């Protein structure tokens, strides 16, 4: 056996423990647990002085009110160990806190044990959100590519699109690289590929979270179209102890956009035109007649009915192609009360 690799968010700690037990290249199981348990991770990052939001774990609505008042509105409430933005919601003032707390507290995955202090109340970070995929080898971080996120369904944080450019200037931004390295060092991460989310605030980049895996939502796929690098093979090589080459072999941009209905509905038909604009790399339909689509926060990724992948010389070119292609994916359905 050359290495242990896992893409699944919930099971990455098990893979790290197996690698340690087998004395194979490892992410460091303690560091991975700090990624999965967001409160544990926040404590390690705070101790190291990493730029991040103020965060407190609470076990009741009363505690959430006290913490939110001390931090100052708006605040973000989230479960401390889930994924895919499930249960993550912004409260702009005291009148919105109760419903936000109820939503975050009720969110769960079957395989995740719930701590008594299950909800985090955090300072809201303004500014665009990005994710950075990085190679971390023996603790040293090298960014591979940046994905610029499009968020929707406020006050939730549904990720509806991602744009990757091979020559994104943020790859070489000293402040971004500094926060990345400081965060990985603080968590004790060793040898792995990571997916780090940051907000580009008025005071500089601040850490949202570090995940001990490649990004989801087809982000590595878009990056492969933009750069020519197979990032799944990069992760596999690293897990096997090899030194992967992450040098782009092409310089382009790619965008993946997920499509949602305007309201909850039961699908009656879903079609796509055969003649699509140049620059549309792929359109994939994700629902069939009879499927019920529900918008966030009732459903998250399950509310999508298609995705469109576009490519071009720049993000602007990708956006133009997407604008022309979206009307050619036609959804019809019956509204759900």
The answer to whether residues 309 and 255 touch, using CB atoms and an 8 Å cutoff, is yes
* 99 Cβ contact partners less than 8 Å away, ≥ 6 residues apart: none
Could you say which of 124, 150, 183 is where a domain stops? Answer: 124
List pLDDT tens digits, range 179-228. Answer: 999 999 999 999 999 999 999 999 999 999 999 999 999 999 999 999 99
Flag whether 12 is in a domain: no
Flag whether 305 is in a domain: yes
Q: What is the mean pLDDT of the chain?
A: 95
Alpha helix (H) ranges present in 107-218? Answer: 174-187
* 159 Cβ contact partners less than 8 Å away, ≥ 6 residues apart: 85, 149, 150, 151, 217, 258
Could you say which of 91, 107, 124 is where a domain stops? Answer: 124
Flag whether 75 is in a domain: yes
Could you say which of 85, 107, 124 is where a domain stops? Answer: 124
> Domain of 67: which CATH number?
3.30.1490.20
Among residues 44, 39, 41, 37, the alpha carbon closest in space to that of 10 is found at 37
Ramachandran angles phi, psi of 56, nearest 5°? -135, 145
List pLDDT tens digits, range 54-78. Answer: 999 999 999 999 999 999 999 999 9
Q: What is the DSSP string of 38-92?
A: HHHHHHHHHHTT-----EEEESSHHHHHHHHHHH-SSEEEEESS--TTTT-EEE-
Residues 147, 269: Cα–Cα separation, whole Å: 32
Tell me which residue range forms the domain holding 297: 253-335
pLDDT of residue 230: 97
pLDDT of residue 113: 65
DSSP, collapsed to helix, strand or coil, labels residue 321 as: helix
Flag whether 324 is in a domain: yes
In the chain, helix, strand, coil percent, each to 5? 30, 30, 40
Band the pLDDT of 161: cuts 50, 70, 90: very high
List pLDDT tens digits, range 86-144. Answer: 889 999 999 999 999 999 998 876 666 666 788 999 999 999 999 999 999 999 999 99
Flag whether 290 is in a domain: yes
As for how many domains the chain has, the answer is 2
Highest mean pLDDT among 80-84, 253-257, 272-276: 253-257
Flag whether 275 is in a domain: yes
List pLDDT tens digits, range 280-308. Answer: 999 999 999 999 999 999 998 899 999 99
> Domain of 267: which CATH number?
3.30.470.20
Flag whether 147 is in a domain: no
Flag whether 331 is in a domain: yes
pLDDT tops 70 at residue 245: yes
């Amino acid at each position: 056996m050359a290495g242990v690799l896992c893409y699944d968010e919930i099971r990455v700690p098990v893979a790290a423990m197996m690698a340690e037990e087998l004395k194979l290249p490892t992410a460091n199981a303690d560091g991975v647990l700090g990624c999965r348990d967001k409160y544990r991770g926040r404590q390690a990052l705070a101790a190291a002085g990493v730029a991040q939001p103020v965060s407190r774990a609470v076990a009741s609505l009363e505690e959430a009110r006290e913490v939110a008042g001390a931090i100052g509105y708006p605040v973000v409430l989230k479960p401390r160990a889930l994924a895919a933005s499930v249960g993550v919601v912004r409260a702009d003032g005291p009148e919105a806190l109760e419903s936000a707390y109820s939503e975050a507290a009720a969110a769960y995955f079957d395989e995740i044990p719930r701590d008594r202090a299950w909800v985090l109340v955090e300072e809201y970070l303004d500014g665009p959100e990005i994710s950075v995929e990085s190679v971390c080898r023996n603790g040293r971080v090298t960014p591979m590519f940046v994905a610029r996120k499009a968020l929707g369904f406020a006050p939730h944080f549904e990720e509806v699109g991602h744009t990757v450019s091979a020559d994104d200037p943020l790859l070489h931004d000293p402040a971004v690289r500094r926060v990345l390295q400081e965060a990985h060092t603080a968590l004790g991460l060793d040898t792995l590929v990571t997916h780090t989310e940051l907000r580009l605030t008025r005071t500089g980049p601040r850490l949202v979270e570090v995940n001990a895996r490649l990004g989801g939502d087809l982000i590595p796929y878009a990056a492969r179209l933009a750069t020519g690098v197979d990032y799944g093979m990069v992760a596999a090589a690293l897990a096997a102890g090899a030194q992967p080459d992450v040098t782009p072999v092409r310089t382009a941009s790619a965008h993946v956009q997920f499509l949602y209905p305007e309201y909850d509905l039961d699908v009656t038909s879903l079609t796509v035109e055969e003649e699509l604009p140049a620059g549309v790399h792929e359109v994939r339909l994700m629902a069939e007649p009879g499927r019920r689509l529900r918008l966030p926060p009732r459903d998250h990724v399950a509310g999508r009915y298609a995705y469109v992948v576009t490519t071009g010389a720049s993000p602007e070119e990708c956006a133009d192609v997407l604008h022309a292609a979206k009307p050619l994916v036609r959804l019809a359905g019956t509204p759900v009360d």
